[in-house]
């Protein structure tokens, strides 16, 4: 039986659980933490490494035309001129003069737009209840003056918002906030400053002295390291287009409105693939990667109901992008972007060719055709996908209602679980036999060992960190070499030999 909890409760419990069970800790917590920076504890690092490993295996190892890269975090400052990050990687900021709180102007407007949608849906629901079976939803949406008025105002503001964003008109963004009568949630007033741009890149100085030192940036994405190495990789591998380069690494953004736990961090990790293809074949590859990425998430157990693929409308697309789809996930605090897939055309390579003066075009060795490849980019945040899998996995199961017995269980896919199995000797006298089995299992997959407390308590401890199998060593093990394997989700047990247990668990973690 499932325990019912609100999304807010789930979020609070998940954050507390992550700390309590060694998944995620606030950074430098003994100094009260650092805003939007987190550390992964003993279980979190295993979970994150498993996700990164599966990403690498499915993208790089299993695609014969994809190779990996590990480029440096520091890059020549002109990289960021070429990529547009110096000029355009900005968030529009607005302050409320009374509360002195700072907000992202675009987020305030987006929230207002979402509220209008909610208002409309509420009206429709009310009418549905009022009219019962005779309710004609389409007609109601068209004819209800209240719905029509809200929708018209929403659409007008949305249009102005998209235009203001595309033209970078900060005055208009402020005007929209004023016209929508948006108030500061803290002070409740509309006393707003002008909107200003704030660059999200962290900068530092390179060199030992301040004089003459160069300002360099901590990369805000890993992708540019791939673009500037396009020619090095192509030449040294002699791969023909289409081919891809994948990279996993840290990125840094001085986010203005960080938060929601590890959703929006200032230091985070990205898993990015740049897939280079011939112009004209890009939309086919875009469709391929969209499909591939969706299946990747589902194969690791993501609940499909929580995943939404949102195609960007033509107005929303970046000027250089032919198609973009955001994979959004229903986090416990609300829906947010998890994975961005974009057809970036030849924008990045052309920009670097222009800025560096070095041509980055490609000549096909067979056909002799010469062109700047187009690129399709699936870009996934490692921290966000960890949070998504944890959100899906967290469960409170009522084992015995009368005794108020509830077990917390992380229903992580066995391939992702920090430990695949826990070896539990039933009594201290069986420790030697259990040690032997534990050593054997650890050679095959990550395993843990627990000797203390009742067997029931030990099972629960493993449920709480998501260990899918518990192998119990008892007196019969000494006699005939068999163990029991207890399944985390069903709590059922089977009795098999140690080798069979190993083979069984290996079968479950294979993707």
**For ligand ATP, which is the closer residue by CB, 268 or 285?**
268
Which range binds ligand ATP by CB under 6 A, 58-66, 299-307, 333-341, 494-502?
333-341
Q: How far is the CB of 267 from ligand ATP (least distance, A)?
A: 8
Find the helix or strand (DSSP H, E) in which 284 lies: helix 282-299
Contact 346, 335 (CB under 8 A): no
Please give the backbone phi and psi of residue 307, each rounded to the nearest 5 degrees, phi first. Answer: -110, 130
Chain positions 117 to 176 lying near ligand ATP, rule: CB under 6 A, are none
Which range binds ligand ATP by CB under 6 A, 3-11, 20-28, 336-344, 497-505?
336-344
Q: Does residue 337 belong to the site contacting ligand ATP (CB under 6 A)?
A: yes
Other C-beta atoms lying within 10 Å of the C-beta of residue 350: 16
Q: How far is the CB of 319 from ligand ATP (least distance, A)?
A: 15
Task: Single out the residue of 222, 223, 392, 380 nearest to residue 293, CA to CA.
Answer: 380
**For ligand ATP, which is the closer residue by CB, 250 or 370?**
250
Q: How far is the CB of 198 from ligand ATP (least distance, A)?
A: 13
**For ligand ATP, which is the closer residue by CB, 45 or 426?**
45
Please give the backbone phi and psi of residue 153, each rounded to the nearest 5 degrees, phi first. Answer: -65, -40
Binding-site member from 339, 389, 445, 449 for ligand ATP (CB under 6 A): 339
**Residue window 203-222: x/- pattern of binding to ligand ATP, with contact defined by CB under 6 A:** ------------------x-
**For ligand ATP, which is the closer residue by CB, 53 or 312?**
312
Q: How far is the CB of 140 from ligand ATP (least distance, A)?
A: 34
Chain positions 491 to 510 lying near ligand ATP, rule: CB under 6 A, are none
3-state secondary structure 67-115: EEECCCCECCHHHHHHHCHHHHCEEEEEEECCCCCEEEHHHHHHHHHHH
**Residue window 361-390: x/- pattern of binding to ligand ATP, with contact defined by CB under 6 A:** ------------------xxx-xx------
Number of residues located near ligand ATP, criterion CB under 6 A: 16
Residue 240 DSSP label: P
Binding-site member from 340, 414, 425, 466 for ligand ATP (CB under 6 A): 340
Q: How far is the CB of 385 from ligand ATP (least distance, A)?
A: 7
Q: How far is the CB of 37 from ligand ATP (least distance, A)?
A: 10
Chain positions 400 to 419 lying near ligand ATP, rule: CB under 6 A, are none
CA R_g for the chain: 27
What is the spatial distance between Cα 216 and Cα 78, in angstroms, rounded to a whole number? Answer: 9
What is the spatial distance between Cα 121 and Cα 115, in angstroms, rounded to a whole number? Answer: 10
Strands 90-95 and 38-40 come out as: unpaired
Name, in order, each residue with C-beta under 8 angstroms of 222's C-beta and a sequence gap of 6 or more: 71, 247, 248, 249, 250, 251, 270, 272
Q: How far is the CB of 255 from ligand ATP (least distance, A)?
A: 5
Token pair for 294? 């969706």
Scan for tokens 């070429």, then name that residue. 82
Q: How far is the CB of 220 from ligand ATP (least distance, A)?
A: 8
Strands 394-400 and 243-252 come out as: unpaired
Q: How far is the CB of 500 from ligand ATP (least distance, A)?
A: 40
Q: How far is the CB of 380 from ligand ATP (least distance, A)?
A: 6
Token pair for 370? 């010469």
C-beta nearest to ligand ATP: residue: 381
Name, in order, each residue with C-beta under 8 angstroms of 135's C-beta and a sequence gap of 6 or more: 127, 128
**For ligand ATP, which is the closer residue by CB, 294 or 486?**
294
Q: How far is the CB of 261 from ligand ATP (least distance, A)?
A: 10
What is the spatial distance between Cα 168 and Cα 197, in angstroms, rounded to a whole number? Answer: 10
**For ligand ATP, which is the closer residue by CB, 270 or 345?**
270
**For ligand ATP, which is the closer residue by CB, 175 or 303?**
303
How many degrees, rounded to 5, is the angle at CA 258 between CA 253 and CA 262?
Answer: 90
Chain positions 232 to 271 lying near ligand ATP, rule: CB under 6 A, are 253, 255, 264-265, 268, 270
Mind giving me the DSSP string for 46-71? HHHHHHHHHHHIIIIIT-TTEEEE--
Task: Single out the residue of 199, 163, 252 nearest to residue 87, CA to CA.
Answer: 199
* Contacts with ligand ATP, residue ranges (CB under 6 A): 221, 253, 255, 264-265, 268, 270, 337-340, 379-381, 383-384
């Amino acid at each position: 039986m499932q325990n019912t909890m609100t999304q807010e409760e789930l979020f609070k419990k998940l954050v507390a659980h992550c700390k309590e069970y060694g998944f995620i800790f606030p950074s430098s917590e003994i100094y009260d933490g650092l805003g939007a920076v987190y550390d992964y504890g003993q279980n979190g690092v295993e979970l994150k490494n498993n996700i990164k490993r599966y990403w690498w295996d499915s993208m790089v190892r299993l695609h014969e035309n994809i190779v990996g890269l590990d480029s440096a975090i520091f890059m020549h400052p002109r990289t960021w001129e070429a990529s547009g990050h110096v000029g355009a990687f900005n968030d529009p900021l607005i302050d409320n003069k009374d509360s002195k709180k700072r907000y992202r102007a675009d987020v305030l407007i987006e929230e207002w737009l979402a509220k209008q949608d909610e208002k409309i849906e509420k009206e429709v629901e009310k009418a549905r209840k009022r009219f019962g079976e005779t309710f004609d939803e389409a007609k109601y949406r068209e004819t209800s003056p209240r719905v029509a008025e809200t929708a018209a105002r929403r659409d007008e503001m949305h249009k102005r918002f998209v235009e203001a964003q595309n033209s970078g008109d900060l005055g208009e963004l402020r005007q929209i906030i004023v016209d929508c009568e948006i108030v500061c949630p803290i002070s409740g007033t509309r006393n707003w400053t002008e909107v200003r741009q704030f660059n999200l890149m962290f900068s530092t100085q390179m060199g030992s002295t301040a004089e003459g030192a160069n300002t360099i940036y901590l990369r805000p994405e890993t992708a540019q390291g791939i673009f500037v190495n396009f020619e090095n990789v192509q030449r040294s591998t002699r791969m023909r287009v289409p081919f891809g380069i994948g990279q996993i690494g840290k990125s840094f953004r001085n986010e203005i409105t960080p938060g929601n736990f590890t959703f929006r961090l200032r230091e985070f990790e990205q898993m990015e693939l740049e897939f280079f293809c011939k112009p004209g074949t890009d939309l086919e590859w875009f469709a391929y990667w969209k499909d591939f990425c969706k299946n990747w998430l589902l194969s690791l157990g993501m609940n499909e109901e929580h995943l939404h693929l949102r195609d960007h409308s033509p107005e929303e697309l970046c000027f250089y992008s032919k198609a973009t789809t955001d994979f959004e996930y229903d986090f416990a605090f609300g829906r947010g972007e998890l994975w961005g897939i974009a057809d970036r055309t030849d924008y990045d390579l052309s920009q670097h060719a222009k800025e560096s003066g070095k041509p980055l075009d490609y000549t096909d060795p067979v056909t002799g055709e010469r062109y700047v490849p187009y690129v399709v980019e699936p870009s996934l945040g490692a921290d966000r996908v960890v949070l998504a899998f944890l959100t899906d996995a967290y469960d409170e199961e009522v084992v015995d209602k009368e005794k108020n017995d509830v077990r917390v269980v992380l229903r992580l896919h066995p391939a992702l679980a920090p430990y695949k199995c826990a070896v539990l000797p039933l009594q201290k006298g069986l420790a030697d036999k259990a040690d032997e089995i534990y050593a054997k299992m650890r050679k095959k997959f990550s395993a843990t060992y627990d000797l203390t407390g009742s067997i029931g308590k030990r099972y629960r401890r493993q449920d709480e960190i998501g260990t899918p199998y518990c192998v119990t060593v008892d007196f019969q093990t000494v006699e005939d070499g068999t163990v029991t394997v207890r399944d985390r989700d069903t709590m059922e047990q089977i009795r098999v030999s140690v080798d069979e247990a190993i083979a069984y668990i290996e079968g479950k973690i294979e993707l």
